[in-house]
Amino acid sequence: MAKVRYGGRKTRVGVVVSDKMSKTVVVAVEAFKRHRLYKKIMRRVRRYKAHDEENACQVGDKVLIVETRPLSRDKRWRVTEILVTAALPEEEKAIIEEEVAEELRELDEVMAAEAPPPEEEVLPAEEEVVAEEELPAVVEEIEEAPQAGEEEQPPPEEEAPQAGEEEPPPEEEAPQAEEEEQSRAEEGDQPQEEETQES
């Protein structure tokens, strides 16, 4: 034969819906029953007041209650054990944050293991050293230019060309163009006059 618990007394499993009273909780017990005539399954919720000597139960806890002698006008049940404890929202948030932090640490470790050694960081450091070595030579060249006594004169302002006239080539390009014309003239390719008209 099966072992009888609690001396053959009735037991129910329900959820605590109120714990505002001292040493008393309200437990909601769900039962499903088929209607006699219409055969529809109906949900029936009964609320029992149960004695909680230690005030250990909180709202949302799943508890086992056992029938007992009358303890007050409405109290005929007592809480024997808490089956599942309902976690407080603050505790749940803390637990979730810890889990997320652990997952992030694991991802960082995996990424660090898969990543190749940082070779790119070494190259910029070498370039900086080379740039520092070249820097004094550039500074010396800049210092020599004013010592020679050559002052740069601003270029003379030229008149803006009219709509029908073409712009003459800049001064720097003009000597190069003249040198090319002279070299071609010496070779005998084309006369100088034709080239000046084209440009």
pTM of the model: 0.45
* Assigned token pair, 178: 């003249």
CATH of the domain at 67: 2.40.50.140
Contact (Cβ atoms closer than 8 angstroms) between residue 58 and residue 87: no
Provide the domain limits for residue 14.
9-86
Residues 83-126 pLDDT 10s: 999 876 677 777 888 888 888 888 888 888 877 665 555 545 55
Cα distances (Å, whole numbers) of residue 32 to 35, 45, 84, 112: 10, 9, 22, 55
| DSSP codes, 119-152 | -TTHHHHHHHHHHHHHHHHHHHHHHHHHHTTPPP
User: Is the residue at 54 inside a domain?
Assistant: yes
Contacts of 103 (CB under 8 A, 6+ apart): none
Residue 132 lies in a domain: no
Residues 52-70: tens digit of each pLDDT: 999 999 999 999 999 999 9
Q: 32 in a domain, yes or no?
A: yes
Number of domains in the chain: 1
**Does 148 fall in a domain?**
no
| Closest of 18, 16, 13 to residue 30, by C-alpha | 13
Nearest to 12 by CA among 85, 80, 84: 80
